[in-house]
Structure 1
């Protein structure tokens, strides 16, 4: 890697290449500046996205919603998400992450608070759909944003740390949601679930405002980096294999014509089916084992997320260290399938169910961050902005199908077991699709 430094007169002269220690310090500086803040954003995002699963414990009874109505409402979020995700990501690429991520967070915070006024299934569906429109582009936008700062061989670990926000949201958010619903029920004439939606919407608006003040659009605009650090980071990004040029035109049409993109969408759809089946229905799964009280359910549902946060970061670090992606995805996907199957078979045993759900959570939540090291290994620039958005939007249609499917099967069979077996089958399909992906395409 060659760096240059400006001297009086405007000319640039070569300077010594950075040492390994300097590179390490620079990336540590970038990490601590942007990743914890993005994690905070995603904790808030994920809490507002899935707290409807906790609201269900009171909301369905108060409003006489069936399991199918709830499942459809939980899932319809992803139809709005699907429709606006690609244009949202392309707009972020043009407008910049700082303004666009702030816009997303403030909008979804206001909409999340509006759930206080839901009375009918139609109102529930409309608000969930609008919430999906508002939040579309946040997650793929952050994945794209991280490609501006970190080269592909550093990205699995970084994305795993960022996506630790999902289990962190479960660890703190589930007990918090249970506590709010139990403690505030009936206060000022509002039900506990109404207070939960209102209180948990406030951080989204506040963090959205903070984003405008804190986040930088890219390396070049970061005033907290020296010129030498900026050049080091830019040179590492430019040195990635996908920037060497493969002779293909990376137009939007070319992205849609790329068979690899559709294969990645299939893999992600399989993993997301398991992810949202778990996160939306976890409180219901645990309640079905005989646990009572929203706060108790919240505490127990935090356990699988505690296990997941450890496993996903260990495997993220291992994937980058060995520069191997496929088996680091296949193993956790199959482990999650086993976990769902055991939980379904021992649905009446709380201890066994918690252990099995911990295995399922560790596996399925590890798959998501490690998955993104696959498509970002061969996509870059505008192609990455479009490709990541397309893959994420297609994959997240599973976020519609999965909750609706489980709700329908629960109404049909009066059990959550059948739905969990289906989740296990989808994860096996995803693992097989990863196995059939050429190693030379993704192990970079």
Structure 2
């Protein structure tokens, strides 16, 4: 094993491999980022329509919370089947299909008539989008060695802040423009146009994505051989460390361990994201629109830099563990801080805390995904990554319902109590992230600790 590991380290430093990784980054990552930009936008733009849906269609706060969260039920049910289908037909076709169908569903939100149609469409949006995120995670794990993978995950995760940086003012602007068009509401224009963007992105993905390094015409023969050899070497090591097959992956204690970590992370992500426009509006005393959209984009602007540079720095196992632990602690503290600032009428401080929370939880994602992709491969990866993402994403279902329930239980006019409740679980995740020092993966031996 020592000789094999040494050979792997030599291969990772070869000029041909570095050149192949460089080319693959510039060839593939823009399309993957665009796909997730429109996915995250269509997943979260409902936050800009909350008040309007209540006023125009009578959708209550409870129905909104259920609708916002039920997306993740449909997502969870179809996640693993979608991942297995991607493994069968290839990323090129399946990721394109996902984007096109969810774009159509997202555009249909323009025709919501009441609570039932709103909740049904949110569920259907989750069904059609299921498999996109874990499919891309698997796709990156097939293209980029472990040493480079966190950086690639970090670039991919830039889609979230880009989505909100661009999408927040765009969503607010489309609402303002749509309100001036006779016979329609601004939120209808927002949903229709942003859904159409996903359809266009799906069509582009079909022509731009490539199913594996062996079929990459943009690589020279030497680069193709180096990248293929590196991924084959790592695949061998992953098979020694992880489960083999679908059922073994789904019953793996390590897979469930990271499912809990990811659940805690998603509680924080969507607890902030779904209510960010409303929270900014409450902090500043502004109506949700273009101005609030610009202010809501500020945390995501800084999140771009935090996610990229922290992901680039997290190139070793020790760095990933330490950074992941402290970023979870920071997420919890900053969520608490944003609630406290809002309750005490300190808007500037509140936005600063929200910004730091966004920077923290955005930077955790790439680090968290480096762990399961270091020991899962083949159908085990399809099932294990699908399980982690589907059940972990149920945090997005729990977050709005938990927040609303806590606020109603404690009659919290400022909404602070609900936010405090969401800030607890990141501390549990911090303890679990630190506990990953007990896990040893063969693929990690190729990293220089």
Contact 2:91–2:135 (CA<8 Å) still a contact in 1?
Answer: yes
Deviation, 1:322, is 6.6
Q: Partner residue of 2:40?
A: 46
Deviation, 1:243, is 2.6
Judging changes above 3 Å, is the alpha-carbon distance between structure 1 residues 355 and 230 closer, same or farther for their aligned structure 2 residues? same
Contact 2:16–2:226 (CA<8 Å) still a contact in 1?
Answer: no
1:177 matches 2:171: yes
Deviation, 1:17, is 7.6
Contact 1:268–1:391 (CA<8 Å) still a contact in 2?
Answer: yes
Deviation, 1:216, is 0.7
Contact 1:68–1:411 (CA<8 Å) still a contact in 2?
Answer: no
Alignment counterpart, residue 259 of structure 1, candidates 244, 253, 257 = 253
The 3-state SS of whatever aligns with 1:334 is helix
Kindly tell me the number of residue pairs found equivalent between the two proteins. 431
Q: Partner residue of 1:430?
A: 429
Within 5 Å, give how 1:35-74 maps onto structure 2.
35-74=29-68
Deviation, 1:226, is 2.1
Within 5 Å, give how 1:1-400 maps onto structure 2.
20-240=14-234, 243=237, 245-246=239-240, 250-293=244-287, 294-320=289-315, 324-347=319-342, 348-400=345-397
Describe the superposition over 1:307-366 as per-residue Cα deviations: whole angstroms up to 9, x where unpaired: 111111111111115763211211111111111111111102210111000011111111
Calculate the aligned-residue CA RMSD, in Å: 2.0
Describe the superposition over 1:376-401 as per-residue Cα deviations: whole angstroms up to 9, x where unpaired: 11111221111100000010011111
Contact 1:109–1:202 (CA<8 Å) still a contact in 2?
Answer: yes
Judging changes above 3 Å, is the alpha-carbon distance between structure 1 residues 242 and 346 closer, same or farther for their aligned structure 2 residues? farther
Q: Partner residue of 1:9?
A: none
Judging changes above 3 Å, is the alpha-carbon distance between structure 1 residues 17 and 320 closer, same or farther for their aligned structure 2 residues? closer
Q: Partner residue of 1:10?
A: none
Deviation, 1:98, is 0.6
| Range 62-71 or range 142-151, more displaced | 62-71
Unaligned runs of 5+ in 1: 3-15
Deviation, 1:58, is 1.8
Contact 2:33–2:159 (CA<8 Å) still a contact in 1?
Answer: yes
Q: Which structure carries more helix by proportion? A: 2
Q: Distance in 1 between matches of 2:241 and 2:195?
A: 47
Deviation, 1:415, is 2.9
Unaligned runs of 5+ in 2: 5-9
Contact 1:86–1:137 (CA<8 Å) still a contact in 2?
Answer: yes
Q: Distance in 2 between matches of 1:419 and 1:274?
A: 12
Q: Distance in 1 between matches of 2:324 and 2:51?
A: 33
When the two structures are superposed, what TM-score results if normalisation uses the length of structure 2?
0.92
Contact 1:71–1:405 (CA<8 Å) still a contact in 2?
Answer: no
Describe the superposition over 1:131-168 as per-residue Cα deviations: whole angstroms up to 9, x where unpaired: 00000000000000001101112111110110110001
When the two structures are superposed, what TM-score results if normalisation uses the length of structure 1?
0.93
Q: Distance in 2 between matches of 1:17 and 1:42?
A: 31
Contact 1:102–1:212 (CA<8 Å) still a contact in 2?
Answer: yes
Contact 1:326–1:439 (CA<8 Å) still a contact in 2?
Answer: no
Contact 2:331–2:426 (CA<8 Å) still a contact in 1?
Answer: yes
